[in-house]
Amino acid sequence: MLAADDLAAHQARVLDPIQTTYRGLTVLEQPPVSQGHILLQSLSIAEQFDLASMGHLSPEAVHVCLEANKLSHADKDHYTTDPAFSPLPEGLLSKQYAADRAALIGMDEAMSFPPPAGDPPVGSDTTYLCCVDGQGNALSYIQSVFHGFGCGVVAEGTGVVMNDRGFGFSLDPDHANFVEPGKKTVHTLNTYMILDGDRPVIVGGSPGGDVQVQTNLQVITGMIDFGRSPQHAAEDPRWTRGMGRSIGFESRFPEKTVEGLRALGHEVGMSAPYGQGGRVQVIRIGEDGVLSGGSDPRCDGCALAF
């Protein structure tokens, strides 16, 4: 339970973003207690493969991204917690670790989920928006109360609905996110910003719980590896990984891709044409400063310029 003293003693911690590189660009993400590291790890693993030569929406390219997400997500329960209690292992975002994990991907068979966590070298009611102004300042923002109406409590006199992110704690004392006094719970909220040098070039994100990092991986590889525009990347057919080998695919995927993934052992389930997770909003900033935006038709968002 929370007491008045707990709230009075609370102090917000403003942390630096975590980062990796992907195809020569710098990708920034939220640090723990966010799961943003999963996206960065997934990109570093996918970077070990030539996705562009495999082809957009090909079974090979989709398979690599699925397996990269599985391997990255496997580290979440093992390592992700309040960094004040236990920071991420120093080597979790290293390229060497990504290469070691990528070597576990077999191109002839899907792995089950979850695979074992790695050993790094030492060293739903959510709103997302992004914006860029005329001076080039960029913002990638996400906010959530988690379940419908959060915990169902409104702070008296404020209209502020309290979230129920404490749901993310574990009661297992051996779990990295075991509930303890003063500890912040792990949550799924994460957004990204991609830089070319020190200049923002892509700003984006999506609601969707654990699906956020899966959706963001598909949008980023779509734009960088396959040259998709922001709107095309937001609209492209999407997959959502479940437990085991089960994957939900929108019916707009090419039949060749679906059958190719089934042949690899993925348990493919088909949904409506726009029936999978994620509600993408994304902006690309061209070298000439021209902005192009994309908004997901799966939600009631929109792209505006003024």
Q: How confident is the model at residue 123 (pLDDT cuts 50, 70, 90)?
A: very low
Compute the average pLDDT of residues 122-141. 85
Q: For 271-283, how does the pLDDT look when each residue is reduced to its tens digit (9 = 90+)?
A: 999 999 889 999 9
Q: Which of 10-14, 31-35, 49-53 ranks highest by mean pLDDT?
A: 49-53
Top-confidence residue, 201 or 179: 201
Q: What's residue 124's pLDDT? A: 57
Compute the average pLDDT of residues 172-182. 85
**Phi and psi torsions of 77, nearest 5°:** -65, -25
Top-confidence residue, 6 or 109: 109
> Across the chain, what does the average pLDDT equal?
91
Report which of 204, 201, 189, 195 is spatially closest to residue 280, judged by C-alpha positions: 204
Q: What's residue 59's pLDDT? A: 97
Q: How confident is the model at residue 130 (pLDDT cuts 50, 70, 90)?
A: very high
Compute the average pLDDT of residues 213-230. 97
Residue 126 designated active-site? yes
Write down the catalytic residue from 20, 26, 81, 126.
126
Q: What's residue 153's pLDDT? A: 85
Chain-centroid distance of CA 289 in Å reads 26
Q: What's residue 22's pLDDT? A: 98
Would you say residue 34 has pLDDT above 50? Answer: yes
**Phi and psi torsions of 282, nearest 5°:** -150, 145
Q: Determine what percent of the chain is predicted with pLDDT higher than 70.
A: 98
CATH classification code of 17-295: 3.60.20.40
Q: How confident is the model at residue 158 (pLDDT cuts 50, 70, 90)?
A: confident
Would you say residue 247 has pLDDT above 70? Answer: yes
Q: For 199-219, how does the pLDDT look when each residue is reduced to its tens digit (9 = 90+)?
A: 999 999 999 888 999 999 999
